[in-house]
Amino acid sequence: MAYRPYEGQAMPRTDLAIEVSEFLRARDARAIPGLEVDERKLNAVTVTRVDVTSPATAAVVGKPPGCYITIDAPGLVDNDRVLQQEVSETLAEELGGLMPPRANAVTLVTGLGNWHATPDSLGPRVVGQLLITRHLQDYVPPELRGRLRPVCAVAPGVLGLTGIETGEILKGIVDRVRPEVVIAIDALAARNVERIMTTIQLSDTGIHPGSGVGNRRLGITSETLGVPVLAIGVPTVVHASTIASDVVDELLDRFRGELRFCEIVAQMDRMDRQRLIREALGDGSGDLVVTPKEIDSMVRQVSRVLAGGLNLALHPGIDEDDILQYLQ
């Protein structure tokens, strides 16, 4: 899908910094101060790093200052194990760059979202495939010690099922366990359907309120938890209203050369557009999401790739099979 954003168009509703950056660049090709973009093409994978360096830019972008690394692999859910292994390794490498250097630092991984709602189940599924080692430190044979980072993990559930904000639960656990870093895994909403299950976003800014498929109310950040929070997310849905808005853009864009039509469109402000979309999607449109039919299989594949990358990053210099056998 080629974005040809219309001038009056609002900032897209997306959890991906790269989509905001693309949108801004499409509207104005000049470099934006405080927004640095660096793209590297690897084999079948593209890694883009977006740095939001000033609070002013953060306000424009709608994302807090920090580093947003996007790993883009169009064939990620095509059952291609060679590609999936490459993506796991790329994730491990990028994650390694953001992790605290001490090997014996306790890492707490948290899988956000709802195990029982497929598009929101990515985080809990990843957590279920991690090599958990914090409780084994005393039993580890000397030759493994030093190479086996203490990792613990929780999938705290969602507010509707627990009655407790996820941030509260995590704050309580962090206060007891005192990890040096928290890694939060979450399912995201993208703007572009082609990013569903093909893009991994890694950032050092934590999880902010209102993001993710499940729309958390409180943030999960270094401010709230008191330790650095890395966030790893993969878009599993696009909001139906985003799709509808894109269709409007395509249509308006197509006829923008026609003088008189532009006058009509000029009368159509944002409220008008939202009313139109609501009429097309019904009252419950806010809860409608667009997903591929095969989402269950895709979530399984992506969660394996993420877990693979995390296991590599958290236990470097150790063979996964060795760990597996030790864990039995």
Q: Residue 91, SS3? A: helix
Question: Among residues 27 and 217, whose Cβ is nearest to its own copies?
Answer: 217
Question: Among residues 155 and 207, whose Cβ is nearest to its own copies?
Answer: 155
Output phi, psi for 165, to 5 deg: -60, 135
In the complex, minimum distance from the CB of residue 251 to its own copies, in angstroms, rounded to a whole number: 6
In the complex, minimum distance from the CB of residue 11 to its own copies, in angstroms, rounded to a whole number: 18
What count of other Cβ atoms lies within 10 Å of the Cβ of residue 226? 13
Q: Is the dihedral of CA 153, 223, 66, 214 positive or negative?
A: positive
Q: Are 70 and 201 in contact (CB under 8 A)?
A: yes
Question: Among residues 230 and 240, whose Cβ is nearest to its own copies?
Answer: 240
Residues 220-279 that bind its own copies (CB under 8 A): 237, 240, 243-244, 246-251, 254-255, 258, 260-261, 264, 276-277, 279
List 27, 40, 41, 81, residue binding its own copies (CB under 8 A): 81
Residues 105-124 that bind its own copies (CB under 8 A): 116-120
- Total binding residues toward its own copies, as defined by CB under 8 A: 88
In the complex, minimum distance from the CB of residue 308 to its own copies, in angstroms, rounded to a whole number: 13
Question: Among residues 15 and 120, whose Cβ is nearest to its own copies?
Answer: 120
> In the β-sheet with 199-203, what is the strand arrangement from edge to edge?
35-41, 46-52, 66-72, 199-203, 229-239, 181-190, 107-111, 151-154
Residues 145-184 that bind its own copies (CB under 8 A): 150-157, 159-165, 168-169, 171-177
Contact letters for its own copies, residues 7-46 (x by CB under 8 A): ----------------------------------------
Output phi, psi for 89, to 5 deg: -70, -40
**Where does residue 103 rank: exposed (0-12), middle (13-18), buried (19+ CB within 10 A)?**
middle
Contact letters for its own copies, residues 182-201 (x by CB under 8 A): ----------xxx-------
In the complex, minimum distance from the CB of residue 324 to its own copies, in angstroms, rounded to a whole number: 4
CA 64 to chain centre: 14
Question: Among residues 163 and 317, whose Cβ is nearest to its own copies?
Answer: 163
Q: Torsion angle of alpha carbons 73, 79, 83, 85, nearest 10°?
A: 110
The maximal CA–CA distance of the chain, rounded, in angstroms, is: 78
Question: Among residues 7 and 325, whose Cβ is nearest to its own copies?
Answer: 325
Question: Among residues 39 and 296, whose Cβ is nearest to its own copies?
Answer: 296
Distance CA 269, CA 276 (A): 11
What does DSSP assign to residue 32? P
Interface with its own copies includes 219 (CB under 8 A)? Answer: no
Question: Among residues 87 and 159, whose Cβ is nearest to its own copies?
Answer: 159
Q: Are 65 and 53 in contact (CB under 8 A)?
A: yes
Distance CA 213, CA 221 (A): 18
Q: Residue 67, SS3? A: strand
Interface with its own copies includes 296 (CB under 8 A)? Answer: yes
Output phi, psi for 79, to 5 deg: 60, 25
Question: Among residues 13 and 171, whose Cβ is nearest to its own copies?
Answer: 171
Stretch that binds its own copies, among 13-21, 25-33, 133-141, 310-318 (CB under 8 A): 133-141
Interface with its own copies includes 133 (CB under 8 A)? Answer: yes
List 13, 134, 147, 256, residue binding its own copies (CB under 8 A): 134
